[in-house]
Amino acid sequence: MNAQDTPERRIQTAKERLGNQLVILGHHYQRDEVIRFADFRGDSLKLARDAAGNRDAKFIIFCGVHFMAETAAILARPGQVVLFPEPEALCPLAEQADLLTVESAWRELGAILEVERDIVPVTYVNSEATLKAFCGIHGGSVCTSSNARGVLEWARGQRPKTFFFPDQHLGRNTGVRMGIPLERMPLWDPRQDLGGNDRENIKTAEILLWKGWCYVHQRFLPAHVLAARKAHPAVRVWVHLECTQEVVRLADDAGSTADIIRLVEDAPAGTRWAIGTEGNLVKRLAREHPDQEIHLLSPTPNNCMTMNKTTMESLARITDGLLRGECIHPIQVPQDVAEGARMALHRMLEVRS
Ligand code: 13P
Ligand code: SF4
């Protein structure tokens, strides 16, 4: 291999030379030029399981966003190194809650309730490791969009209330499916006293929803669903659970990334879809299922900008480093944070989804 080689050739060379010492994980929202090198592709739950289950590889390259690579590093066995090609690839949803603000909310709630008896904190996997550790320490769990219902049902079996962060939409959509009335799921706005609630609201709440959102999924609008149905009355509209409740209510159904992929794979030829999730994935589904008609729900492209940061070149820089004996951009999580987060992640992995 030499510096003039194409990124493709450099990555292939590293894969050949390192064999099963190297595993590349790729989230479904990655660019095509990256995902084709992934040994395992999946949604965040599957990749968390793949990372935890891989006992051979010394090096795990995680192509996704930062919280995913951090989760893989927390679940990795001692001696495994998780490398992250684009340190700037953060999830804007995950950045909407931080430990200080969540701890301050917990203290405010503590003035009204007996928090350790009354509330289970549950964080969406799209969150910093410190928040996962907070949940681990306070008897809570992590969830993904694939197992949110299972985890929220588990939480309700532990204590009467759940504090869910940072994605309000996943929490609300899941709560509605569990039959919880909307008025029992008040929003917690971290910029306001008591999250913008009065004491009565808090006392009757079943799930408190942190005011966070994913800009990619929140862009899908009720008008898009109506327009898709008007254009083709037989269209099947499927959206991700990070979309708003108004969009989910109008869609035929909603689910996780994995649910959407499974549904398309199982559909008969000729099925027409309008899908409300990340653009790279919808384009790939359309290409892989030419016998179906698969469209993005919105008229304009809707890619996750940070998922798109990882390129073949940035992956090749990491594999070049490994061939020189260098670990570029390793993910490091302080031990105390990793221990707390691991508790919460293991609770999640034990819940049936
Ligand atoms: P999944 O859990 O469906 O992979 O979702 C992760 C994500 O970031 C969705 O926007
Ligand atoms: Fe985060 Fe949304 Fe991008 Fe998923 S699609 S990584 S939630 S910003």
pLDDT value at 245 more than 90: yes
Q: Taking the model in full, what pTM does it have?
A: 0.95
Q: How far is the CA of 201 from the centre of ligand 2 (A)?
A: 30
> How many Cβ atoms from other residues are within 10 Å of residue 41's Cβ?
21
pLDDT at 353: 61
**Mean pLDDT to the nearest integer, 280-301:** 96
Q: Is 150 in the pocket of ligand 2 (CB under 6 A)?
A: no
Q: How far is the CA of 213 from the centre of ligand 2 (A)?
A: 9
pLDDT at 2: 63
Mutate to test the pocket of ligand 2, among 67, 93, 218 (most ligand atoms within 8 A of CB): 93
Of 68, 87, 66, 86, nearest to 76 by C-alpha is 68
- Confidence at 198, pLDDT banded by 50, 70, 90: very high
How far, in Å, CA of 5 to CA of 349, rounded? 41
pLDDT at 48: 76
The answer to whether 223 touches 187, Cβ cutoff 8 Å, is: no
Residues near ligand 1 (Cβ within 6 A): 43-45, 126, 144-146, 214, 242, 256-257
Q: What are phi and psi of 30, to 5 degrees?
A: -70, 160
Report the chain's mean pLDDT, rounded to a whole number: 96
Q: Please, which residues bridge with residue 23 across strands?
A: 60
Q: What are phi and psi of 273, to 5 degrees?
A: -120, 145
Of 292, 299, 304, nearest to 223 by C-alpha is 299
The answer to whether 225 touches 251, Cβ cutoff 8 Å, is: yes
Q: Environment class of residue 4 by beta-carbon count within 10 Å: exposed (0-12), middle (13-18) or buried (19+)?
A: exposed
The answer to whether 236 touches 252, Cβ cutoff 8 Å, is: yes
Q: Is 214 in the pocket of ligand 2 (CB under 6 A)?
A: yes
Which has the minimum average pLDDT: 49-63, 166-180, 235-249, 307-321?
A: 49-63
Nearest bound ligand to the CA of residue 166: 2
- The two counts, helices (H) then strands (E), for the chain are 17, 13
Q: Supply the DSSP symbol for 190.
A: T
Q: Supply the DSSP symbol for 93.
A: T
CA 286 from centroid of its chain's CA atoms:
22
- Confidence at 121, pLDDT banded by 50, 70, 90: very high
20-64 pLDDT, tens per residue?
Answer: 999 999 999 999 999 999 999 998 878 878 877 877 899 999 999
